[in-house]
Amino acid sequence: MRETALHFRTITEIAERIASQQLSPVDITTAMLTRIDQLDAQLMSYATVMADAAIAAAQQAEREIESGTYRGPLHGVPIAVKDLCFTKGVRTMGAAKVLANHVPTFDATVITKLEAAGAVLLGKLNLTEGAMGGYNPEFDIPKNPWNPDRWTGSSSSGSGVATAAGLCSGSLGSDTGGSIRFPSAACGIVGIKPTWGRVSRYGVLALAESMDHVGPMTRSVADAGIMLEAIAGSDPNDPTSLPNPVPNMLEGIGQDLQGIRIGFDENYATNDIDTELAEAVCAGVGILADQGAEIVEVQLPNVDEYVSAWPTLCSAGAVAAHAATYPSQRDAYAPWFRGWLDMGAKVTGADYARANNLRAACTGHLRRVFEAIDVLVCPSMSAPPHAVTPEMLYGQYEARDPKFQRFTVPFDYNGAPTLSVPCGMNSEGLPLSIQFVGKHLTEPLLCRVGHAYERATPWHDLHPDI
């Protein structure tokens, strides 16, 4: 085992030590809670720390393991979840003042599955209001552990910060327009946006249900596969969850990439994109070729015109999701998300139909691109984490250039799985990220590709100096 501080060790490493009883679930949980207590006042990743419940769960895990009952690689491992996931008896607020006193009477399916796997839940993580772009001043704003003045990736920001800073061994985020990939990229960690429907959304506060995905954020590709396998599967409480069996997400993960066709559109990946990021992604393509992959030149359409339809679809979806509190409690929302809801309330049926037609067209183009390839490679976002100001975080909603979501929204539209992996550091010491996109239900292949890339590069071993 490499000489890495315990709080930065991967789930895979921790699981090996717990299974062999070299490491106590109580000891690592206590260490994580101590680190949260010491550091999170400056990083502000947690909305709620569940210390007593975490210690109790760790004690139970320890008793089970000592008695010969070992549930698998998450047993006794301390994790955290985005504060969209219902937890029975614990506030689930979605960073919205209107939900500040919302205490669910049941657990989300993802929570039930994590507990069944023996994971120890440390607490609930901060996010943007309603899982969109801006924060409510009633809640803390997570700080990027690489540079507190830089963006943390928007919605699943607490998940990105806590995982990167070693305040949990892994976390759950959600992604409707990029909110697993953006914070993973901004904080220098791994994130999987699964196939839409692979993970149940039952008991998860919605933003726009037809594009919402729940997935893991971790410090290694194998860890992301482990967490995804634990939370995936059909759920009778969510009719949109897929009936397909859950595969071994780590199947073939140690193999090279012989026979894998990886598509690359250099124009799509580099045009009008940060230069250092583009260079890192192009270098990544070369590394994949060295691992045995066949690099296939593909051509994507100009997706920016299709991405421009996303605000119409998402804002209208958000109005439906918040029907219980908007517009009846409109003034309780902060300016950013209030403006988003106001915009969605003005969307007509014809507006939505036009936007949905653009979504369908984008999906059709991508389907044709994937006829010749197994995996597409591109950046996770268009630039390293940008500088932030209070106006950006708390101010009015302002439309962004479609290129901002060029590498995220098309795969929320079509529900294809994606994997984001660190691919370098820029000249300012900020993380860069490469993204692998697969066909539906090919998460094990993405893990194989991502692990092969990770094995050949040092970037996943870098951690912020806090």
Residues tagged active-site: 82, 155, 179
How many residues are present in the chain? Answer: 466
Tell me the C-alpha distance between 142 and 136, whole Å.
12
The answer to whether 157 and 183 have CB atoms below 8 angstroms apart is yes
| Whole-Å CA distances, 321 to 130, 176, 204, 286, 461 | 9, 13, 11, 43, 39
Tell me the C-alpha distance between 200 and 81, whole Å.
15
The answer to whether 73 and 15 have CB atoms below 8 angstroms apart is yes
Tell me the C-alpha distance between 448 and 252, whole Å.
6
Residue 420: closest CA among 377, 456, 387, 452: 377
SS3 333: coil
What is the bridge-based pairing of β-strands 120-125 and 418-425? unpaired
Both tokens of 108, joined, read 């989300």
- Element (DSSP H or E) covering residue 171: strand 171-175
The answer to whether 273 and 405 have CB atoms below 8 angstroms apart is no
Those residues with Cβ within 8 angstroms of residue 224's Cβ, 6 or more apart along the chain or in another chain? 170, 190, 191, 192, 215, 216, 217, 218, 419, 447, 450
Angle (CA) 285-291-293 rounded to 5° is 65
SS3 451: helix
Q: Convert 337-368 to b/e letters by CB count within 10 Å (16 or more is b).
A: bbbbbbbbeebeeeebeebbebbeebbebbee
The answer to whether 341 and 321 have CB atoms below 8 angstroms apart is no
